[in-house]
Amino acid sequence: MGENLNLFTSTQETIHEALSKMGYEESLYELMKEPLRMLTVRMPVRMDDGSTKVFTGYRAQHNDSVGPTKGGVRFHPDVDEEEVKALSMWMTLKCGIVDLPYGGGKGGIICDPRTMSMGELERLSRAYVRAISQIVGPTKDIPAPDVYTNSQIMAWMMDEYSRIDEFNSPGFITGKPIVLGGSQGREKATAQGVTICIEQAAKKRGIDIKGARVVVQGFGNAGSFLAKFMHDAGAKVVAISDAYGALYDPKGLDIDYLLDRRDSFGTVTTLFESTLSNKDLLEIDCDILVPAAVSNQITAENVDNIKASIIVEAANGPTTKEATKRLNERGVLLVPDVLASAGGVTVSYFEWVQNNQGYYWTEEEVNEKLEKKIVDAFNQVYEISQSRRVNMRLAAYMVGVRKTAEASRFRGWV
């Protein structure tokens, strides 16, 4: 029997465990094990060659007992219904962990944006908003950028929603360009949140960030900013990777040089002759390992070869349940994805607040508020992990489900 690599069922199992540990009744798990709403849409889009292609997209709204749902929209060939459901559940957990007045939502379209023109991407973005317009909005469900989507795509989506709504609705979506009501600090927010978690974890373990050996798997939005933050803090980023391979230098890589040469999809290793595999990258001897790429990277198969003493998950679900258990037994401090990558949704919340009040903050104010949110969340999760003698992932789920569980009870849903 192989281990469970299905993100949706393993998320359900951990939510069940967290609710049971806190003494909640089974009916609450029945409510939270699936999204309340799941919409599948089909969108005809005129392509540049004159043909019409029909795309499939999804929007999941996990639970809106606390407030409107919130979550990104990803454009990726591997998007499927189960992944979108699992990600919406994680968004509920993230919002609970950093104490935001939201439930989790998530969206995705099955497409490969790397093969599409700007015109095709714009028509697809607008078609998606038209298809989901009845269930989203600033007080219902607020989308945001995710894998292979960016501030330009958010701008098109906001414009389309404003046309349908017949008034300017900046609060409908977050991750917008600054000139359209975006927030300072939003683009770097996920990496900033991960960085704050790394600093807190290093403190707990008595590791000095200056000179610490750091490995970052993934060089997209989160991974590249993160490598830069670590490099600027005096850490030695000894390895990074993208979808095509990994670069390694025990003396530390020149991150600024690599950032100048990466393309918009985070690819840089194709410019080098000598590269390692992503599998080898994970097993490099280092102090801090940051998986910032895709799910199921640290598994029962390779967990015993992992040498890092701190692992901070910037990607969604990079470590399996069995691997989490074995790392915990070995005393590795693993900061789970639902805590480490909550910086993005936190600054998305700040953007929504600024849109609602029509008053905008400086980058310093945003960073200060973000730091407070993440440090408080980290300390709360760490404290529960120590006092209840559970790993950091289960502790984070316990903190994350509590707000939604209580809101559902007060509403009389269970």
Element (H, E) at 215: strand 213-217
Q: Is 251 a catalytic residue?
A: no
**What is residue 363's three-state secondary structure?**
helix
Element (H, E) at 246: strand 245-248
What is the DSSP-derived secondary structure letter of residue 241? E
Question: Would you say 320 is a known binding-site residue?
Answer: no
How remote is the C-alpha of 39 from its chain's centroid?
21
C-beta neighbour count of 390 within 10 angstroms: 18
Spot the catalytic one: 106, 176, 188, 403. 106
C-beta neighbour count of 163 within 10 angstroms: 14
Report the C-alpha gap between 248 and 241 in whole angstroms: 9
Element (H, E) at 40: strand 37-46
Angle at which helices 363-387 and 392-411 pack, to 10 degrees? 100
Question: Would you say 139 is a known binding-site residue?
Answer: no
Is residue 45 within 8 Å of 55, Cβ to Cβ? yes
Question: Would you say 70 is a known binding-site residue?
Answer: yes
Is residue 192 within 8 Å of 230, Cβ to Cβ? no
Is residue 300 within 8 Å of 320, Cβ to Cβ? yes
DSSP 107-134: EEEE--GGGS-HHHHHHHHHHHHHHHTT
Is residue 81 within 8 Å of 106, Cβ to Cβ? no
Report the C-alpha gap between 211 and 361 in whole angstroms: 34
Beta bridge partners of 239: 215, 248
Is residue 195 within 8 Å of 218, Cβ to Cβ? no
Q: Which residue from 373, 306, 310 is spatially nearest to 343, judged by alpha carbons?
A: 373
Residue type, 115: T
Report the C-alpha gap between 71 and 173 in whole angstroms: 9
C-beta neighbour count of 171 within 10 angstroms: 22
Binding residues: 70, 94, 190, 221, 348
Task: Please enumerate, by residue number, every residue annotated as part of a binding site for substrate.
Answer: 70, 94, 348
- Residues annotated as catalytic (active site), given as ranges: 106
Q: Which residue ranges are tagged as binding site for NAD(+)? A: 190, 221
